C-alpha cells in the first residue's frame, strides 16, 4: 500500500461529547457491519466497566476504507485521569477530530486533549456534534473553540481549521450549520482532504509501541505505528527499551487493522498502524529499529501522578470469604502487571511487604483499577487518597486543578459557599442557557468529597468536571469531614430492632440481616466524633409482646455509595475493604480499646 493512501486520525473530546457514538455511525455507513447484524450502541466501549459508566477508558484501533484510502481511527478516552492513555496513542496519529457538544461547548477535558494534540503538531478538524439538541448554540460554541485555540497560543496556520457540523446520534454531517446533512460523507471527505498522509521519512526502520494488548493464546501484543521503513514477517530487528537497553528480535506475526478485525499481514509500510505478536516483555515506549544501526524514537513523556493511595491485603475478620487472590504476593504481581500496560501508574513497596504505595492521575484512574481487580477475584484494602506534594524553589507545592461546575441559578450561592471553603479561586462565571458555569482553580485536596457535598446541597443538580492545571505553592489546611462515623461494637447480623432504635443517630450504610464485624464503619454519625453502636441487640421477649409490634418498624433505606464516593468519604484512620462482592469501610484498628489508646498517644505527641 502507498503511504498516500493512509490517514491516521484520533478522535478527541470531553467526556460524553459523542466520540464513541460517532465511530458507531462511521462503521455503519461504511458497511463494516452486515446488513442484518444486531449491533449494540457504543460498540467500541467493549469493556464491562466502560459500558456501565458510559465512558471510554482504553483507546481502541479500527480502520475504514473510503475511496481507496485506509483511515486508521483511534478512539481515545476523554477523562484527564486517563491522560497516560491519551498521550501515547496520539503519537500514532497525523490529525485529530476534535468533537465539541453543540450546547455544552468547550469543557476542561476539551482543553486537555486539544493541548496534547497541538503539542504534537497534529492537524485538527473541529466537529460540532449533537446539532440535534433543541438548545444547540453552534455559533457561540465555535467562538469558544476559537478562544480556546488562541488561549493555547497555537500557530496562526492552525486557526484556519475546517469545521463540520454533525449529529452522530442521527447519523449526519454537514459543512453548513443551518443545513442538516444526509449522511457522514461530508466528514469523510474533510478527513481525506484535510488530514495529511504520513510522511515517508527516509532512513532505517523505526516503529514505536504505543499500546499493549494481551491474548491468552499468543501472550503480549504490541500495537504501534511504523514511522520509517517497513516491518516484514521473518525479519530481524533490535528492540530498544525505554531504559536504553537493546536486544535482538525476530518478527513472527504481524496484524493490521481492517474494520473491527486484526488481519494477518506479511509487511507493514511507513505510516500504517499494526500489531506485533510473539515478542516477550514488549512494552509501551519500546522502539523496533534496524538491527545494524538502531535509532530509538524519543521516549513517550507522561504527566506525573498527582494522587497516591496505599493498597494492602485484607485483614478484616471476613478475610478470604469471597476472593480467590488474597495474599500480598498475588496483590504485588497484579499491581506490577498493571504498570506494564498503564504507564501513568506507579507502584512502590511501602513500609512493610504487605503495603504498596500506588500513584495515579486521579481517584477515577485508581478506582477503575480497583474495580477491575475486584471483578478478577482480588481481596484488598485501600487507605485515604493523598495528593503528591513537590518542592519548588525550596517551598512546598501541591497540584491544583481547573474545576468547572454547571449548576442552576438558584443553587449558585450554595455552590460558591461550599467551594470557597476549599481554598478555591473563581476564574470565570458565565451564563449557559438556564445554567451558570463556574470555573475555579482548586487544590486537588479540595476535590476529595466535594462531589458528594455539592450533589447533596443542590439536590443532585450540580455537574462538575476537573482537570490537572499546574503545581502551585501550598494553600494551607482545608476543613476535614465534619461528621463522625458509627462503628459496629460486635460481629454478627444487623438486627432490625437495633437499627430502628439508632436511626436518629445518623445515616446507616448497612441493612437488617447484613453481616458486620467489630470495627466496621456502619454509618455516618450526625455529630462530630465517632460513636460505637450495638447493631446485634435484640428485643427482650416478654409475655405481653404483641405480634404486630415488629411489623411497625420503619427503617430508612441504607445509603449505598460508589467506590469513588467511599474513597472520598474515608479519613486517615479508615480503610475501604474491597472484595469481589462487597465494599465496606472499616477502622484501621478494629479493637475499640486499642484504638482509643493510640488516639490518646497521638494527642500527647501533638500536645
Which residues are documented as binding site for GTP? 16-21
Beta carbons within 8 Å of 279's beta carbon, 6+ residues apart:
220, 222, 239, 249, 252
Cell triple for 407: 449548576
Rounded to whole angstroms, the Cα distance separating 250 from 278 reads 9
Rounded to whole angstroms, the Cα distance separating 62 from 192 reads 16
∠343-346-347 over CA atoms, to 5°?
135
Residue 353 in 3-state DSSP?
coil
Residues in the chain: 607
The C-alpha cell 445515616 sits at: 507
Residue 607 in 3-state DSSP?
coil
Q: Do residues 225 and 91 make contact, with C-beta atoms less than 8 angstroms apart?
A: yes
Torsion angle, alpha carbons of 539, 544, 550, 553, to 10: -90
Cα–Cα distances (Å) from 448 to 108, 364, 568, 588, in that order, read 18, 12, 5, 20
Largest CA distance in the chain: 97
Annotated binding site: 16-21
Cell triple for 381: 484494602
Cell triple for 394: 525550596
Give backbone dihedrals phi and psi of 194, rounded to 5 degrees, phi first: -105, -30
SS3 sequence of 308-347:
EEEEEECCCCCCCCCCCECCHHHHHHHHHHHHHHCCCCEE
Rounded to whole angstroms, the Cα distance separating 240 from 224 reads 14
Rounded to whole angstroms, the Cα distance separating 524 from 463 reads 24
* Number of neighbours of residue 273 by Cβ within 10 angstroms: 26
Cell triple for 588: 484501621
- Alpha helix (H) residue ranges in 195-327: none
∠42-43-47 over CA atoms, to 5°?
90
Amino acid at each position: 500500500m502507498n503511504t498516500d493512501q493512509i490517514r491516521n486520525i484520533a478522535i478527541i473530546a470531553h467526556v460524553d461529547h459523542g466520540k464513541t457514538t460517532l465511530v458507531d455511525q462511521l462503521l455503519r455507513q461504511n458497511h463494516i457491519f452486515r446488513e442484518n447484524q444486531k449491533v449494540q450502541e457504543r460498540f467500541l466501549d467493549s469493556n464491562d466497566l466502560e459500558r456501565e459508566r458510559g465512558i471510554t477508558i482504553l483507546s481502541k484501533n479500527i480502520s475504514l476504507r473510503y475511496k481507496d484510502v485506509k483511515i486508521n481511527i483511534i478512539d481515545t478516552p476523554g477523562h484527564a485521569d486517563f491522560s497516560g492513555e491519551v498521550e501515547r496513542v496520539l503519537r500514532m496519529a497525523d490529525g485529530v477530530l476534535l468533537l465539541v457538544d453543540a450546547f455544552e461547548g468547550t469543557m476542561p477535558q476539551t482543553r486537555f486533549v486539544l493541548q496534547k494534540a497541538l503539542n504534537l503538531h497534529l492537524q485538527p478538524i473541529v466537529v460540532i456534534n449533537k446539532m440535534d439538541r433543541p438548545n444547540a448554540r453552534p455559533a457561540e460554541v465555535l467562538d469558544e473553540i476559537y478562544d480556546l485555540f488562541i488561549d493555547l497560543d497555537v500557530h496562526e496556520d492552525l486557526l484556519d481549521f475546517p469545521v463540520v457540523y454533525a449529529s452522530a446520534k442521527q447519523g449526519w454531517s454537514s459543512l453548513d450549520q443551518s443545513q442538516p446533512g444526509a449522511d457522514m460523507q461530508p466528514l469523510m471527505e474533510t478527513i481525506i482532504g484535510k488530514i495529511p498522509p504520513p510522511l515517508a521519512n527516509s532512513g532505517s526502520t523505526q516503529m514505536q509501541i504505543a499500546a499493549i494488548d494481551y491474548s491468552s493464546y499468543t501472550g503480549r501484543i504490541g500495537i504501534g505505528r511504523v514511522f520509517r521503513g517497513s516491518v516484514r514477517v521473518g525479519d530481524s530487528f533490535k528492540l530498544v527499551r525505554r531504559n536504553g537497553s537493546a536486544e535482538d528480535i525476530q518478527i513472527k506475526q504481524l496484524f493490521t487493522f481492517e474494520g473491527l478485525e486484526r488481519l494477518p499481514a506479511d509487511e507493514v509500510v511507513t505510516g500504517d498502524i499494526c500489531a506485533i505478536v510473539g515478542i516477550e516483555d514488549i512494552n509501551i515506549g519500546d522502539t523496533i529499529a534496524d538491527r545494524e544501526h538502531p535509532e530509538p524514537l524519543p521516549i513517550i513523556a507522561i504527566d506525573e501522578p498527582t494522587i497516591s493511595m496505599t493498597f494492602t491485603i485484607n485483614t478484616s475478620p471476613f478475610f478470604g470469604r469471597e476472593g480467590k487472590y488474597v495474599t500480598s504476593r498475588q496483590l504485588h504481581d497484579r499491581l506490577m502487571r498493571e504498570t506494564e500496560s498503564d504507564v501513568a501508574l506507579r507502584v512502590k513497596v511501602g513500609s512493610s511487604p504487605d503495603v504498596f504505595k500506588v500513584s495515579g492521575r486521579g481517584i477515577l484512574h485508581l478506582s477503575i483499577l480497583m474495580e477491575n481487580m475486584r471483578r478478577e477475584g482480588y481481596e484488598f484494602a485501600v487507605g485515604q487518597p493523598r495528593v503528591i506534594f513537590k518542592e519548588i524553589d525550596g517551598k512546598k507545592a501541591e497540584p491544583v486543578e481547573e474545576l468547572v461546575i454547571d449548576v442552576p441559578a438558584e443553587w449558585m450561592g450554595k455552590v460558591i459557599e461550599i467551594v470557597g471553603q476549599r481554598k478555591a479561586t473563581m476564574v470565570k462565571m458565565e451564563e449557559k442557557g438556564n445554567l451558570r458555569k463556574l470555573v475555579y482553580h482548586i487544590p486537588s485536596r479540595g476535590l476529595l468529597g466535594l462531589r458528594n457535598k455539592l450533589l447533596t446541597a443542590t439536590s443532585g443538580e450540580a455537574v462538575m468536571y476537573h482537570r490537572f492545571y499546574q503545581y502551585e505553592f501550598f494553600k494551607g489546611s482545608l476543613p476535614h469531614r465534619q461528621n463522625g462515623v458509627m462503628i459496629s461494637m460486635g460481629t454478627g447480623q444487623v438486627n432490625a430492632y437495633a437499627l430502628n432504635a439508632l436511626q436518629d443517630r445518623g445515616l446507616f450504610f448497612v441493612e437488617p440481616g447484613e453481616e458486620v464485624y467489630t470495627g466496621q464503619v456502619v454509618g455516618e454519625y450526625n455529630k462530630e466524633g465517632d460513636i460505637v453502636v450495638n447493631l446485634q441487640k435484640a428485643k427482650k421477649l416478654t409475655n405481653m409482646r404483641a405480634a404486630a409490634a415488629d411489623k411497625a418498624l420503619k427503617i430508612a433505606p441504607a445509603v449505598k455509595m460508589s467506590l469513588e464516593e467511599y474513597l472520598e468519604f474515608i479519613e486517615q484512620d479508615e480503610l475501604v475493604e474491597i472484595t469481589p462482592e462487597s465494599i465496606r469501610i472499616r477502622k484501621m484498628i478494629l479493637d475499640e480499646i486499642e484504638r482509643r489508646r493510640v488516639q490518646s498517644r497521638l494527642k500527647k505527641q501533638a500536645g
